[in-house]
Chains A and B, each alone.
Chain A
Amino acid sequence: MTLGLGVWGGTGMDAAMWLPLAVSALFWLLAAPVGRRLPPATAVRALTAAMVATALATGFVLAAAALLVLGQAPPVAALGEWSATALATGDPVPLALGGLAAVTVAGLGAAVLRRVVHTVRDLLRSARACRALGPAVAGLVVVEDDAPEAFALPGLTGRVVVSTAMLRALPADERRVLLAHEAAHLRHRHHLYMIVAELAASANPLLRPAARVVGRSVERWADEVAAVEVGDRPLAARALVRAGLARAAAQRTAPALALSGVDGDLVDRTRALLTAPAPRRPLLAGLVAALVVLTGAAVLVTAHGTEDRFEAAQTVYAAQP
């Protein structure tokens, strides 16, 4: 924790500034095992909240470090009416590190903006598609097509879109699983969690694995809702497998089908349905929450320390003749 920011008058600001980065690294390492152990709904909620807190905290400490260095530039100091030399005395943020922080925070800010633009465009496209697919009784759109497809299209009301090939591939009880799964995506607004997780990962690339875990857990969440609705876990597992095999068969005849690479997920989802639901593990969920609180505290300490530093520099400036 002494990688160069120094200790400012024992405020603990040094350690505090590094803490969000340390927590991010922890998420990088532990998001996948934590996601596997928590019930999927808990995993989605806890991880998404933790990701938002961590991304904001990381952005904040990077901005503070950048500000402490940029503030030493004479024109900036004159504008802010503080003493550049006073800001630079003591145990300041090294110029190089502050510069790096400034570049990083600018780059990540741009990445977030780009992500926001993409997301808005995707949501508009989705809403337009909902309208274009025409009226949907009970929120279901059946598309006459030989490719087995089924997906949820979020919008103001949302649509479940299923192709006739998919419906023909499944017996009635498994069709019920599929419909319950897609309805669960819409009812629990899963797309919002995914959008927020993606935004957090754009703001802090160390959170990228956690965003993938959220994406996977959202599918598992919908699987679990469907399994409860039909009251039969093996039945839910059978529906998944049969739909997966139908898609695989269609891919062989039409390999040009849209690709979106998701790793051996379906196997994991099926296995999870063939075993008992995950226990609640309040301790693990509490641990994630504790990390969020710790990150929040680090932000407060950093904010306080940075403010103190600038105030001291302003006092020096005011005392100058």
Chain B
Amino acid sequence: MPTIGRRKGALEQEVLAALAAAGRPLTAAEVLADLGDGLAYTTVMTTLSRLHAKGALTRRHSGRAYAYALHGGDAASVGASVTAHRMHRLLEAGSDRAGVLARFVEELPPEDEQLLADLLAAATRAGEQA
């Protein structure tokens, strides 16, 4: 299957997601190691600088390189908990199929869990063959 490549803004999103998942400041090399996928170091570096320029990231020196972190991403800050609360309220209000919220995955019945675990194994095998 052909890859159409990244859509506009996708790499920025992926870099933000990588930093959020790590939960600690990362250097460009660390972000590159996480994302992998044939990216060039300079591409990651450029994306990090751009995100920093937009005010989405903070950075500090870590040895000879910069380590980047999400702006205000230090856990348990007041702003973060307010946002989380807001998110839950939104999810509770929007669960009426209006199409206003489209979740990646919905709740699943317990009996589906084993089925999904089996499918994950199948997907992993299929990925290895591909």
Measured CA separation A172–B75 after assembly (Å): 21
CB distance B100 to A266 under 8 Å?
no
CB of B105 within 8 Å of the partner chain: yes
Any B CB within 8 A of the CB of A162: yes
B70 at the interface (CB under 8 A from A): yes
Q: Is B102 a contact partner of A118 (Cβ separation < 8 A)?
A: no
A70 on the interface (CB 8 Å rule)? no
User: How many B residues touch the partner, as a band?
Assistant: 35 or more
- B80 and A143 contacting across the interface, CB-CB below 8 Å: yes
Given contacts A183-B7, A248-B108, contact A175 B98 (CB under 8 A): no
Instruction: Choose from A150, A187, A274 the contact partner of B122 (Cβ within 8 Å).
Output: A274
Is there contact, CB below 8 Å, between A237 and B123? yes
Q: Is the CB of B83 within 8 A of A247?
A: no
**Which residues in chain A, 236-257, are within 8 Å of chain B measured between CB atoms?**
237-238, 240-245, 247-248, 251, 257
B98 touches A198 (CB 8 A): yes
Instruction: Answer whether residue B65 sits at the interface, using C-beta atoms and an 8 A cutoff.
Output: no
A156 interface contact, C-beta 8 A: no
Give residues of chain B (41-83) contacting chain A, Cβ–Cβ below 8 Å. 51, 54-56, 70, 73, 75-77, 80-81, 83
- Residues of A near any B CB (own CB < 8 A): 118-119, 122-123, 125-126, 129, 132-134, 137-145, 147, 149-154, 160-164, 166-168, 170, 172-173, 175-176, 178-183, 185, 187, 190-195, 198, 215, 218-219, 222, 227-235, 237-238, 240-245, 247-248, 251, 257-267, 270-271, 273-274
Interface residues of B (CB under 8 A from A): 1-7, 9-10, 12-14, 16-18, 20-21, 23, 34-37, 51, 54-56, 70, 73, 75-77, 80-81, 83-84, 86-88, 90-110, 112-113, 115-117, 119-120, 122-124, 126-127, 130
